């Protein structure tokens, strides 16, 4: 399956049991909810997937199980967030062997690489695989920015680098990318609180977070704005905003997983060193979720517009 870089692609959560094992049954409940809502792809092992805590075997299990479960309905991507080029190349290889149809890639972890080192890292991985690649550009959280000049160097040599998950939180960067690269580099907005704005000024799609708890509302916003029904999309987006703000906090994993408990498609179990929310913080997040559920909008038939 070739990847069409459009639509909503959830950065899915990894579900765990109380004994810290993969909860594949609940994981598939969440994936089914995404498919029912009409998502356009799935991204495994990202920040929300608690990538840094997963073993290589767990990544492979998640990839194989997801590919088998979705059965070609949407493409499955695996995230690469590694410390070494060697490990990144190996993950790209095993992801492809396990049926992943694309990759999302962060710059090298932990080491603050130079621009030249980041470009060579991406090139080495891209040239080791035939899978299409989306570069995850998130300097706010990961401290390395992939600049337009770095993208230009990549696109000249790596035809399978096809998209960027744009998470600089500077929406003007969308226009800069479009002006420089046209349709050569697809743009998937990666910040929930800037999603509608980003789509309206040229982003092709949305790698979403709160979709893990509210898949239908997320896809509805995308489909409505695509159809030109901006006011309807905006009304849902304004209702959604207090929830979307959970995506831009260091504890986004705990917050979004807790939200998915309230919508019946996930658990709040996280893997240490993360801890389940407690005390006043937990009460605050629950109130945000409960307040949103009390006024949850009735969605139009967004799948048939």
- The three-class DSSP label of residue 205 is strand
Residues 6+ apart with CB under 8 A from 137: 145, 146, 164, 165, 166, 167, 168, 190
pLDDT digits (tens, 9 = 90+) for 48-71: 999 999 999 999 999 999 999 999
> How far is it, in rounded angstroms, from Cα 160 to Cα 7?
19
**Residue 111: pLDDT band by 50, 70, 90 thresholds?**
confident
Q: What is the mean pLDDT of residues 124-147?
A: 96
Sheet holding 205-208, edge to edge: 7-10, 205-208, 186-189, 161-166, 133-137, 102-105, 76-80, 42-44
> How far is it, in rounded angstroms, from Cα 240 to Cα 34?
17
Q: What is the mean pLDDT of residues 61-83?
A: 98
What's the maximum distance between 2 C-alpha atoms anywhere in the chain? 52
Instruction: Determine the pLDDT at residue 270.
Output: 98
Q: Is the Cα dihedral 51, 53, 56, 60 positive or negative?
A: negative
Q: What is the mean pLDDT of residues 119-143?
A: 96
pLDDT > 60? residue 266: yes
Q: Which residues are catalytic?
A: 136, 165
- Cβ atoms of 205 and 6 within 8 Å: the answer is yes
Instruction: Determine the pLDDT at residue 87.
Output: 97
Instruction: Determine the pLDDT at residue 272.
Output: 97
Domains in the chain with CATH codes: 7-304 (3.20.20.70)
Q: What is the average pLDDT score of the chain?
A: 97
**Residue 36: pLDDT band by 50, 70, 90 thresholds?**
very high
Q: Please give the C-alpha separations between residue 109 and each of 84, 155, 254, 271, in angstroms, as whole numbers.
A: 8, 22, 22, 19
**Residue 110: pLDDT band by 50, 70, 90 thresholds?**
confident
Instruction: Determine the pLDDT at residue 107.
Output: 96
pTM score, whole prediction: 0.97
**Which residues are 164's β-sheet partners?**
135, 187
Instruction: Determine the pLDDT at residue 241.
Output: 98
> How far is it, in rounded angstroms, from Cα 62 to Cα 153?
33
Name the residue among 303, 171, 190 with its Cα closest to residue 244: 190
Peptide bond just before 273 cis, omega within 30 deg: yes
Residues 6+ apart with CB under 8 A from 228: none
């Amino acid at each position: 399956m070739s990847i069409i870089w459009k639509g909503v692609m959830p950065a899915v959560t990894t579900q765990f049991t109380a004994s810290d094992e993969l909860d594949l049954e609940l994981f598939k409940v969440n994936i089914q909810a995404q498919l029912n809502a009409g998502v356009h792809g799935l991204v495994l092992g990202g920040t929300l997937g608690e990538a840094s805590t997963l073993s290589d075997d767990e990544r492979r299990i998640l990839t194989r199980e997801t590919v088998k479960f979705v059965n070609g309905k949407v493409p499955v991507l695996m995230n690469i967030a590694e410390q070494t080029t060697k490990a990144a190349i190996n993950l790209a290889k095993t992801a492809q062997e396990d049926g992943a149809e694309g990759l999302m890639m962060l710059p090298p972890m932990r080491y603050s690489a130079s621009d030249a080192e980041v470009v060579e890292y991406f090139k080495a991985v891209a040239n080791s695989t035939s899978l299409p690649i989306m570069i995850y550009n998130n300097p706010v959280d990961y401290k390395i920015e992939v600049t337009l000049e770095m993208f230009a160097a990549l696109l000249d040599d790596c035809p399978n680098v096809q998209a960027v998950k744009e998470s600089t939180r500077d929406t003007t960067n969308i226009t800069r990318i479009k002006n420089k690269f046209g349709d050569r580099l697809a743009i998937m907005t990666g910040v929930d609180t800037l999603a509608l704005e980003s789509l309206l000024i040229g982003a092709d799609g949305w790698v979403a977070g709160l979709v893990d708890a509210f898949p239908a509302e997320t896809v509805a916003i995308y489909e409505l704005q695509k159809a030109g029904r901006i006011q309807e999309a905006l009304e849902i987006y304004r209702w959604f905003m207090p929830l979307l703000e959970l995506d831009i906090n260091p504890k986004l994993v705990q917050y979004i997983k807790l939200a998915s408990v309230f919508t019946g498609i996930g658990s709040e179990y996280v893997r240490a060193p993360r801890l389940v929310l407690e005390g006043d913080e937990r009460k605050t997040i629950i109130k945000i979720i409960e307040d949103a559920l009390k006024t949850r909008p009735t969605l139009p038939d967004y799948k048939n517009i």
